Structure 1
Amino acid sequence: LKADSYLIEMIKWIRSHIKDAFEVQYKGQAKPIMNWLKGSSVRAITGIADSEHGNVKDIFEAVASYIFSGYFEAIAPDYPAFSQWITGDSMQGAAQDVLSYLAGGAATKRATAVMDALGLLEGDKLRATKSRYAITVLDILQAKGHGQVVNNSELLERVNARLYFKPDSYRLEPEWLLVILASLVHSGELELSVVGHNISASDTTLFKTVSFDTLKDFKHIQAPKDFNTSAIKALLEMLDMNEGLAISIQNGDDGVVRTMGEKIDDYIRVILRDQQNLKDRLPLWGQHVLEEAEAQTLNNKLTETKIFLEEQQRFNTPGKLKNLKVTVAEIEAQTLNLEAWREYKQLKEVVGDLTPMVDYLKNAQLILAEDDDWQEQAKNIQQSLRAGLLERNTRLDANFKEKMLKQLGELKKAYIQRFVEQYQRARLTLVEDQVKAKLISDSRLISLETLAGITLLPAEHLKKWRESWAGLQVAESIEPKMLEVNPQPVAFNPRANTWAGQAKDRLYYLDDQLDSMLKEWTLNLKNNLADPFIQLDLLKASQKENVNSFISSGKLPEPLSREFIEEVNKVLSGLEQVNISIDELVSRLGKGTPQSVEEIRKRFEILIQEHCKGKDSEKIRIIIE
C-alpha cells in the first residue's frame, strides 16, 4: 500500500514538474521535453480530447513522434497517415476492429480511420482495389501466374528483427498487411491460407473466430478458385444492378444472370444508336457542341465498352460466370467510359432543351435587318451559349441551362416586341387604308395615267408609283400565341422592307408624288411643245388651239382627252427619245466615288456621246429612268 501511495505521489510530482524535470536530446541538441513541441501540442498529436486526461506515457510518445517524424518520412515516404492516434500497443486492437467489421460487425471509428488511411474506402464504401497497397499485393499475385501462390515470406521482409511489407516505401507492419489482405479476401480478389483454414469471400466470419496471431502468420495468398466475387460485384454495379445480387449468382440464380444479359444487350443497342448520333456532334445554332476530337474520343470509348460487353455476353449462366477472368480494374475502366457516355447523354438532353428556343431565334435572325440592334444582342448570347457549352465543367450544371434558357427567353421576348413594332410601322391603320383607297381615284392620278400615253413622258415613274401604292397594306391582327411558336406569323419581312419610315409617311409621300409628277410632266410637255422644231401646223385646228393655250398658260386642257394625247404624240414624233437608267448614270459617273468637276463633266459627255451617236442632237430628248 505504501508503494502505491509513493507511486501516486511520484506520478503527481512528474506531472507537476515535467517541463523542468526531463530533458530530451536529439542530434546533439538538448531541450526541456515540452520545448520540442513548440507549434504543436500533445493533444494535437495524440488526438486526446479536451475532456480527457492523458498520461505521462502519452507525453513521451507524442514528443518522440514529433521529433522522429522527419526521419520516419525519409525511410517510409508512403506510410499511411492515420486520423486517430495509434501506437505500437494499440495497433493490434485497431487491426482487429477492421477484421471484426469485415466479418460482418459494425465499423468503429477506429476501424474507419484505419481503412481510410490504407486507402480502402471510397466515400463510406469498402473499395479494396482502390488502395495503392492492395494494388501492389494484387500485382505481386498476378505476376506469379495462374494457379501459383504467394508465400508469407514473399510479402514480408525482415529489417532489424522486424517484419515489414515493402520496407523501402510503405514499411507496413504485419498488422496493416493483414488488414489489406483481409479486405481483398472480402472483395473476392484473393484467398488467404492460414493454419487450419483457407479463407475466401464466403468465409469472412473466420476473421472474427480465428486468432489474430494465426491470421497474422498466414501461410500464403492465392487467386480465388470459386466465383470472382469482386469482379461480379463490379460488373453488377457497372450495369446499375445491386452488387448484393452476387450472392444470388453464387447460389445458382439463373434469373439474375438473365437480367444481366438483358442489361448488356440493352447497353450494346443504345451504344450503337448513340454512336450514330455522335456523327452529328450535337448541332446547335449553326455549330457543333462537340469538337471533332472530343466526339472521336467518346466514340472510341464506346467502341471499347461495346466490345467489352459483347465479350461478357457468353457468361449467360451462373456456372459460366465461374470462368469470368476480367479484373475489377478492367471493369472500372469500362465504368469510366460509361460515365463519359452518361455525360454525353446529359449534354444531349441539355441541347435538346435548348434547341426549340435556339431554332426560333435562328430564324428570327434571318427576319430582322442585319443592322438591327437586336441582332447584336442575339450574337452576344449566341457566343455566351457557345462558350458555356465548350466548358466541360459548366455545360452539365443545371444552373447554366436555366441561366441560358432565361437569357434566350428574354431575347425572344425582345424579338417579338421588335417584330410587332416594325410590323405596325410598316402597315396602315384602317383609317389610313381609306386614304390609300381614295388615291387610286384621285384626279391627279387620272391625269397622269392619260399623260402616260405621251411617249416622251416617263411612264415608268407612274408604274413604280402604282407598285409602291400596292405595297401599302393594312395591318392584320397578330395573335400573341402565334408569335410564340412562329417568328414570322404574317407575310412581313423587316429585312426586305426598303422603306425605313412609317407606312403612313409613305402614304403621304405617295400623295406628294402625284403633285410633283404632274407638275414635272406638265412642265416637260410644255417645254417640248414650245421647241421651235415642233411643227404645230400638223395639228387640227381645234387641237392646235388647245396646245397653244397650254404652251402659253402651262395648264393642261380640261378635260384631258385621248384625242389631245394622240395629236401631241403626232407633233412630237419628230423628236427622238433616248433613255438612260439611273443605275447606268451612277455607274458611269464613278459609282459614288469622289470625282473632280472636270472628271464628272468628261464622264457625262462620253455617256451622252455614246447614247446619241448618229442622231440629230437637236431632236434628241433624254429621259432618265
Structure 2
Amino acid sequence: MRYSDLIQFEPIESVIQLLDANRPAEAKKLVATYVISDDMAERIAKLMIPQLSFDESVDHKGLLVVGNYGTGKSHLMSVISLVAEDAAYQSMIRHRKVAEAAAAIAGKFKVHRIEISSQMSLRDIVTQQLELFLEKNGVSYTFPPADKVVNNKAAFEEMMAAFAEVHPNHGVLLVVDEFLEYLRSRRDHDLVLDLSFLREIGEVAKHLRFRFLAGVQEAIFDSGRFQHVADSLRRVKERFAEVLLARQDVSFVVAERLLKKTADQQNRIRTYLTKFAKFYSSMNERMDEYVRLFPVHPEYIGTFERLVFTEKRGALVTLRDQIQAILNTDVPEDRPGLISYDKFWETVTSNSVLRSDPSIGPVLKVSEVLTERVQKVFSRPTYKAMALRVISGLSVHRLTTGGDIYVPVGPTAAELRDTLSLYQPGIEDMGGDPADDLLTAVQTTLREIVKTVNGQFISKAPDTEQYYLDLKKDVDYDSQIEKRAEALSDDALDRAYFGAIKQLMERTDESTYVTGHQIWQYPIEWQEHRVDRNGYLFFGAPNDRPTAQPERDFYIYFIQPFEPPRFRDESKADEVFLRLKGLDDAIKRYLSFYAAAQDLASTASGGAKGIYLDKAKDALRDMSKWLQEKQMTAYEVTYQGKTKTLQEWTKGVSIRDKLRLGADERANFRDIVNVISGLALKQHFADIAPEYPVFSVLVTETNRRQLVGSALKALAGGTRTKDANAMLDALEMLDGDRIDLGRSRYAQDILKRLKAKGHGQVLNRSELLSGPTDVEYFHPVKFRLEPDLLVAVLGGLVYAGDIVLAITGDKIDSGKITQLAERSLDELKQFKHVEAPKEINVAVLRSLFELLGLSPGLAQLATQGSEEPVKQLLDAVSKLVGRVLIAGTDLHGKLSFWGKPLLTDDEIRDWRTRLEALKTFTEGLTPYNTVGKLKNLRIGSDDIDAQKKNLDVLASVEKLLELVGELGATAGYLSQAELVLAGDHPWVKQAQSARKDILEKLATDRSAKHAAEYRQALAQLKRDYLTAYIAQHSKARLGVAEDKTKAALRKDSRLVAMRALAGISLMPTSQLTAFDDKLDKLKSCASLVESELAASPYCPHCNFRPANEQGDFLPAANVIKQLDDELDRLLDGWQQTLLDNLDDPIIRSNFDLLKASARELIKKFVASKKLPDPVPPDFVSAVQEALSGLEKIGVTSEDIKNALLQGGSPATPDDLRKRFEAFLNDRCKGKDASKLRFVVE
C-alpha cells in the first residue's frame, strides 16, 4: 500500500500573483482550486460580497483584505474579481454558500487589477491606471490635474457618468495588491495626501458603482507603523471595511487541497493508524484529525506556526515537496508513517542563507555537532535512528520560542514521543503498558544522547523534565566539576558540608559572633518553661572554638564528618555534639560537586563563574534536601558522653507537639536540631535556673521586651491584654484576675532584701543585678531573671505601693504609676535604686473614710497592714463613681417635671461642674488599691472638704430624679387630662392652679423635702379627674337601655315609611338625611371602668374627649327622646304634603289615567288621610305616577336668606315682599307655575 493509494494529492503553487487572474487559462484554475472553510465563507458571503454589490440598502465602502503572506489573500481577491467580471466563474466556486451569494456580483463589473510598487502618488497611480482601463473599455475620460481640483469625488462622478454611457449595466472594480508595502514607502507628507485620496475613494463607493478592493499584510488601522498619521487613518477607517483572513486556515487548505481523501481512503487510514494508537497518549482521541491530515502529523502545522522566520505558504510548499517525495513509496508497517515536524529540519539545514541568521545559526551549529557525535559514537546503536529524529525535533523546537533561542524550555520525553510519533520496532513485545514502554525507550535514548556528548549541548530542566538544546553549554561544566571533585581534600569537603549546614541552620544572613570563626549566638527553647535560652552554635570541635564572651547557657557543635578533629569530650552539661555518620554515595557526590563548583568559581570569571556558582547552588540544594530527609538516622547526638541517633533521642517524644505544628506544617532541619538540643539540655537549664518562671506563651529574645511592656502598661492602668496576663502570671503576680504580689517569690525576695537594709536605706541596682553588662541576672543561681523580667516585678511592687523606684531624675511610686508605661524599658532597666514608701497619713485617711460614708476607724486598721479598709474604700469609690455618672447623664435630659425643667440653665452648668469635680476626685482614688499605695495618698483635708458641697449636689440631683421618677408619670397623665376636658371645665382650672403651686415650691425645694405633699396633691387631682370624666362620659354616651331604644328607633315603622316615600320626587328627603345623621351621632358606650381610665385619661373603647365634642352638650338620653318626637312630626308633614298635592285639581285630572289598582290605592289614601302601614311599593309607584306632572324645585333656607338680604338690611315689609317675589319669579322663569312645587331642604 503506497501513500498515493491513500490520498488525492493536489499540488499548490508556491506564489499566486493577482495579475495571474488576467490570463484566462490561469483564471479558471484560480477559481476552481480556491479552498474555502465555513468560517471564511461566512466572511465572504456576509461582508465582502454585500459591499461589492449594487444593493442600495448597504452602506458601501472601500474593501481591504487583511492577511499575512501565504494566507491566500491574492488568491481570494483573484477569485472574487473573476466572478465579478464573468458570471461563468460563479459555478466553479467550491463552497455552495459563497457560490449562491456571488450571484449578487457575478458578471456585473468591468475589473482592473494592479500591483503597486511606484514612487508616484496614490492619486497619480489610480487615475493613470483608470484612464488606461477606461480607454481599453471604450470610454473616453481624462482626470483633471491634481492641482486643478478642489476634491476628487467630482472627478470620479464624471468618470462614472462617462462609463455608464458606454456600459450602463456594469460597475467598475479596481483591485490593488501589495498595497501595504506601497504605503510603508511613503514619506509623512506624501502619506497624508495618499490617505486623504484613499478616504475619497471610500466615500465615492457609497453612491457610485465604483468599488475599490485592496490587499494588505496587516490591519493598517491598528498598526503602530502609522501612528504618526493616526488622525488621517481614523477618517479613512470610517469609509473602509476589513475582511480578515485567519491563520488557522492552513490546516484546512492542507486537508482539502494537498491531502483530500475519499471515505474509503479515510477508512483505510483509520485502520492503519489504530494499531499504533495505543503507544501514544492522545492519538485515539484525535483520530479524526490524524486521518484528515494523514500523512502529516497534526502537530507539524502547529509547530510551523510558531516559527518566526517562515511564511504560511512556506508550510504549504514544504509539505507539498515532502509529500511528493513519499507519494510513490510504500506506507511502513513497522512504524507510523507520519511526517512530523522533525522532518522540517532537513529544509532548514539545506538553506545556506539561514546560517547567517543569529537566531538560527547557533542552533544549526549545535545540532550538527550533536548529529555528528551520535552518528559516530552513539552507545546504543539500536536507538540511533530515534536519537537522530529526537535531535532534529529538538532543533526545530529550539526555533519556536519567540526568537529567544536560549530560554530553558522544550518538550518532555512524553511530548517528543507523541508529537514526533517516535517508534522503536520490537517495543510491542515488551509486555508492559505500550505507551509507558515506548516512553521508557525515548527516555533511554535521551539519556544516551546526553551521555554521548558528555553532558554538553543538551539539558533537562529538573523541575519540568523538559529537554532542550542548551546553546550556552558548549563547555562540559559538569565534567570539569567532576574532574575537580576527584582531587578535593577532606578539608574542602568539610567546608562544603558546613556550607550546607549554615543554610539549614538559617545562619546565612547572620553575622558570626567572632570574626574569622563559624560561631554564632544562638537561641533554643527550654520547652518545659516555654522560653528561649541563649548560647552559641559552632562549626567544629571545642578545642577550635574561640573564647566567646560573655559565657552563655550552652554550646552546640557540628563536628566535621570527613576529617574530624581530635579533642577530649569533657562531658560538660552545657555542650551538645552533632556528627554526620550516615554518609552514603549520594551525599558524598553532592558535597564533592558543591566543593568543586565553589573552587572552580573562585578562579573563573564572566559567564563561566556564574555557571559554576549556579551548579554549586544546585548541589547545595541537593545536599540540603538529603540532609533534611536523612537527618533522623544519619545524625548522632552526643551529650555528657552518651551518643544516640536523633531518632533514638526522640523515642516517646512527639516532635510535632514540641514544635506546636499545624496539620499542614512540617519540621525543618533547624527545628529538629533545636528540639533535640532542648531535650538534651533541659536538666542543665533547670540546674542553672531552678526557680525560673514558667510561661504560658513562648518568650524569645525578640518578644520578651514586648511582653514586659504589655505587663507594665497593665500595671499602669492600661488594658490587661493576653500578653500582659501571661507575663504577670509567670512572675506569680496574679491571684485569679486580681494583681497580688503576696505569692510572688520574686517580689517577696526583693522586699526581704529591702527590709534587711533597715529604715531609710535604699536597695541599689548593683545589689539586685549581677553579671557582665550584656548578661545580667537577678539572683543568677536561683531565679536567673533577665533585667527585663526584674523590671516587671519591680513594676508590680510599685503598683502595690510596696516600693518607690528611683530612676534618673525622678521617683516612681504608686501615685505616679502611669510612668511605668510612659518611660522606655531601657530607661527603667537602668534604675538607680529601690526604696520603701512613706507612712500612711491617718488624719487625712479618716476624713476620706467619713466623706465616703465609711467608718473612720478603718484608717487605723489600714496602718496595721489590713487590706479590709482598701477593699471597702474601693467598693465605696466604685459605687460613688457609678452614682456620679448616672446623675451627670440624667442632669439635663431627665430633670423635667409636669412639662417644665426643674433647674435653670445656670443651675445646670453649676451642678454639672460640681459633679465633674466629684467624679475626677473619686476616680483619682482608684489607683490606691493596696495598703502600700495609701502611703502615697496625694490628697489633703482641703481637698476632702471641697467635695462635701459636691456630694450635696449629687444628693439633690438624686432626690429630684427620684421625685421625677415617682410622680412624673402622674404629672404626665394630668397634662393629657387637661387636653381631654373642655377648657372651661372647673377641673381644668383646678389642675392649672395645682401645677403652678407645686412648681413654685420645687423652685426652692431642691432636695425635694416636700415630696409627700406633692404626691398627695397629684393623687387627689387625679381622683377628681376620674370623677369629672366619668360624669361627662355617662352624659354623652348611651347606656345599655338607651342603646336598645336607638336600635328600635332605627327599625321604627315611621322611619321605614319615610324611607319608602323618599322615592317620590316631591318629598323633602334632606329631612330624612338630617334625621339619620342625628341618630348616627348618638354613640353608645357602657364598657368604661375606672381602672382603665386611671391608666389612660380617656375612654379606650369610644375615645370620648369632651374638648372635641361639637354643638350643645345635651344628655344622650334626652336627645333620643327628642328624636322620637321629631319622627312623628316629620312623618305627619310628609303625609300632609302628599295629601295637599294629590288634592290639586290638575293632579286629580290625572287619576283617570292611572291603572285601576293604582287609582284605588290613591283614592283610599285621600279618603282616609292616613298612609298605609306599612307603605307598599305599589303605593309609592302610584303616587309618583300621579304626581308626575309636577316639578320639584328644591331650595335651602340659606337660598331664601340670601334672597331676602339682597338689597341690604334692615328692610321694609314691602321690600322683603318684592325681594321674595323676585326670588320666586327667578326660579319659575320659563316654567308652568301651576305645576311647580317648592320643597325647602
When normalised by structure 2's length, the TM-score is 0.28
Q: Determine the C-alpha separation between the residues in 1 that align with 2:1200 and 2:912.
A: 62
Q: Residues 201-600 of structure 1 correspond to what in structure 2 (within 5 A)?
A: 226-392=839-1005, 396-397=1008-1009, 400-428=1010-1038, 430-470=1040-1080, 472=1082, 476=1086, 479-488=1089-1098, 491-492=1101-1102, 493-495=1104-1106, 496-498=1108-1110, 500-525=1113-1138, 537=1150, 540-542=1154-1156, 543=1158, 555-556=1170-1171, 560-569=1175-1184, 571=1187, 575=1191, 578=1194, 596-597=1209-1210
> Retained in 2: the 8 A contact 1:281–1:289?
no
> Retained in 1: the 8 A contact 2:1039–2:1086?
no
> Retained in 1: the 8 A contact 2:1192–2:1239?
no
Q: Match for 1:392: what amino acid?
A: D
- Specify which structure has the bigger relative contact order, considering alpha-carbon pairs within 8 angstroms and separated by 6 or more residues: 1
Q: Report which of the two has the higher share of helix.
A: 1
> Retained in 1: the 8 A contact 2:959–2:1008?
yes
Q: Which segment is superposed worse, 238-247 or 353-362?
A: 353-362
Stretches of structure 2 lacking an aligned partner (at least 5 in a row) = 1-836
Aligned position for 2:247: none
Larger Rg: 2
Q: Match for 1:420: what amino acid?
A: I
What is the identity percentage for the equivalent residue pairs of Structure 1 and Structure 2? 28
Q: Sort the Cα spacing of 1:541 and 1:259 in 2 relative to 1 into closer, same or farther, 3 A.
A: same
Q: For each residue in 1:430-480, what CA deviation from the matched residue of structure 2 results, as whole angstroms up to 9, or x when unmatched?
A: 554554444234332121111222345343543443354355466636555
**Displacement after TM superposition at 1:386 (Å):** 1.7
> Retained in 2: the 8 A contact 1:281–1:295?
no
Q: Sort the Cα spacing of 1:254 and 1:446 in 2 relative to 1 into closer, same or farther, 3 A.
A: same
**Displacement after TM superposition at 1:342 (Å):** 0.7
Q: For each residue in 1:107-140, what CA deviation from the matched residue of structure 2 results, as whole angstroms up to 9, or x when unmatched?
A: xxxxxxxxxxxxxxxxxxxxxxxxxxxxxxxxxx
SS in 2 for 1:366: helix
Q: Determine the C-alpha separation between the residues in 2 that align with 1:620 and 1:333.
A: 99
Q: Which segment is superposed worse, 476-485 or 368-377?
A: 476-485
Q: Sort the Cα spacing of 1:355 and 1:622 in 2 relative to 1 into closer, same or farther, 3 A.
A: farther
Q: Determine the C-alpha separation between the residues in 2 that align with 1:585 and 1:506.
A: 29
Q: Determine the C-alpha separation between the residues in 2 that align with 1:613 and 1:294.
A: 80
Q: Sort the Cα spacing of 1:537 and 1:439 in 2 relative to 1 into closer, same or farther, 3 A.
A: same
**Displacement after TM superposition at 1:275 (Å):** 2.2
Q: Sort the Cα spacing of 1:318 and 1:265 in 2 relative to 1 into closer, same or farther, 3 A.
A: same
Q: Determine the C-alpha separation between the residues in 2 that align with 1:240 and 1:427.
A: 60
**Displacement after TM superposition at 1:510 (Å):** 1.1
Q: Determine the C-alpha separation between the residues in 2 that align with 1:615 and 1:319.
A: 118
> Retained in 2: the 8 A contact 1:577–1:622?
yes
Q: Match for 1:413: what amino acid?
A: R
Stretches of structure 1 lacking an aligned partner (at least 5 in a row) = 1-223
Q: For each residue in 1:22-65, what CA deviation from the matched residue of structure 2 results, as whole angstroms up to 9, or x when unmatched?
A: xxxxxxxxxxxxxxxxxxxxxxxxxxxxxxxxxxxxxxxxxxxx
Q: Sort the Cα spacing of 1:230 and 1:467 in 2 relative to 1 into closer, same or farther, 3 A.
A: farther
Q: For each residue in 1:316-368, what CA deviation from the matched residue of structure 2 results, as whole angstroms up to 9, or x when unmatched?
A: 23333333333322222222112101111111212222234323333433333
Q: Sort the Cα spacing of 1:526 and 1:597 in 2 relative to 1 into closer, same or farther, 3 A.
A: farther
Q: Match for 1:563: what amino acid?
A: D
Q: Match for 1:502: what amino acid?
A: P
Q: Match for 1:407: what amino acid?
A: A
Q: Sort the Cα spacing of 1:519 and 1:246 in 2 relative to 1 into closer, same or farther, 3 A.
A: same
Q: Which segment is superposed worse, 422-431 or 544-553?
A: 544-553
> Retained in 2: the 8 A contact 1:537–1:544?
no
Q: Determine the C-alpha separation between the residues in 2 that align with 1:294 and 1:586.
A: 65
SS in 2 for 1:453: coil
> Retained in 2: the 8 A contact 1:365–1:375?
yes
> Retained in 1: the 8 A contact 2:1038–2:1084?
yes
> Retained in 1: the 8 A contact 2:1165–2:1172?
yes
Q: Sort the Cα spacing of 1:323 and 1:514 in 2 relative to 1 into closer, same or farther, 3 A.
A: same
**Displacement after TM superposition at 1:589 (Å):** 11
Q: Sort the Cα spacing of 1:325 and 1:596 in 2 relative to 1 into closer, same or farther, 3 A.
A: farther
Aligned position for 2:568: none
CA RMSD for the aligned pairs? Answer: 4.3
**Displacement after TM superposition at 1:377 (Å):** 1.0
Q: For each residue in 1:92-115, what CA deviation from the matched residue of structure 2 results, as whole angstroms up to 9, or x when unmatched?
A: xxxxxxxxxxxxxxxxxxxxxxxx
Q: Determine the C-alpha separation between the residues in 2 that align with 1:474 and 1:234.
A: 71
Q: Determine the C-alpha separation between the residues in 2 that align with 1:300 and 1:290.
A: 14
**Displacement after TM superposition at 1:420 (Å):** 2.9
**Displacement after TM superposition at 1:301 (Å):** 1.8
What count of residue pairs does the alignment treat as equivalent? 391
Q: Determine the C-alpha separation between the residues in 1 that align with 2:906 and 2:1181.
A: 79
Q: Match for 2:1075: what amino acid?
A: W
**Displacement after TM superposition at 1:481 (Å):** 4.3
**Displacement after TM superposition at 1:514 (Å):** 0.3
Q: Determine the C-alpha separation between the residues in 2 that align with 1:587 and 1:366.
A: 39
